[in-house]
Amino acid sequence: MRTMSDSRVRRVVRWLTILSAGLGVLSLLSFSLAAHIVPRYFDPPIGAWWNAHEFWLMEGAAVMFGVLIGLRIARRMVGDSAAARSALVWSLLSAIMALIPLTRWCAVVARIGWGVGDSAMRAWIAGRFGYDRRVFLDNVLSTSVYFTKTACFGLLVGLVIFGLALVAAGWIFRDAGAAEPEAVF
């Protein structure tokens, strides 16, 4: 059975990270600035599809971006071993397969707590930039905070997924001839 080399897997993870960050920023700006009007003007069916899905795409891209950053951090922390290489592949596949439930869970958790909907923040933005700009800046700020919170929860999930995959890979790759470690207590 032919497997991907470690450098190939890292390259795939890097490109998926860049792709998810780009899609996330594009859909974040499109959603917060109501820029779905542009594709609707040029191609109404594609614009309607984008308008209906841009928020979900932003959430999914934020979760995938966070998970991939978590996988990359965990992989660098672990070092180079057969178990770590295998864990990266298996955790990447697990994260891709579980993207929809992870997106729902991280989005729900990201809605808890601090938001920018408080009137003091809106008043400060309006006083600093004017009321006309406040609406746009408030939308971009609140959507950016939501994207960041979702990505941070995705990062935690990515660390957990990699840890579970590393334990499973360590169990599979353990040396059958090695003696059990002595008990400390």
pLDDT band at 156 (very low <50, low <70, confident <90, very high): very high
Confirm if 68 and 158 have CB atoms less than 8 A apart.
yes
pLDDT at 177 over 50: no
Cα–Cα–Cα angle for 27, 124, 113, rounded to 5 degrees:
60
pLDDT of amino acid 158: 94
Phi, psi angles (nearest 5°) of residue 79:
100, -165
pLDDT at 170 over 80: no
Nearest to 62 by CA among 157, 166, 137: 157
- Report which of residues 133 and 53 the model is more confident about: 53
pLDDT of amino acid 115: 56
Confirm if 149 and 58 have CB atoms less than 8 A apart.
no
Rounded Cα gap, residues 31 and 150, in angstroms? 16
pLDDT at 1 over 60: no
- Report which of residues 183 and 65 the model is more confident about: 65
The ranges assigned to domains in the chain are 6-171
Interval 79-138: pLDDT, tens: 777 778 888 888 999 999 999 999 999 888 888 876 555 667 777 777 777 777 777 787
Phi, psi angles (nearest 5°) of residue 8:
-65, -45
The residues near 181 (Cβ < 8 Å, ≥ 6 apart) are: none
pLDDT of amino acid 34: 84
Phi, psi angles (nearest 5°) of residue 175:
-80, 120
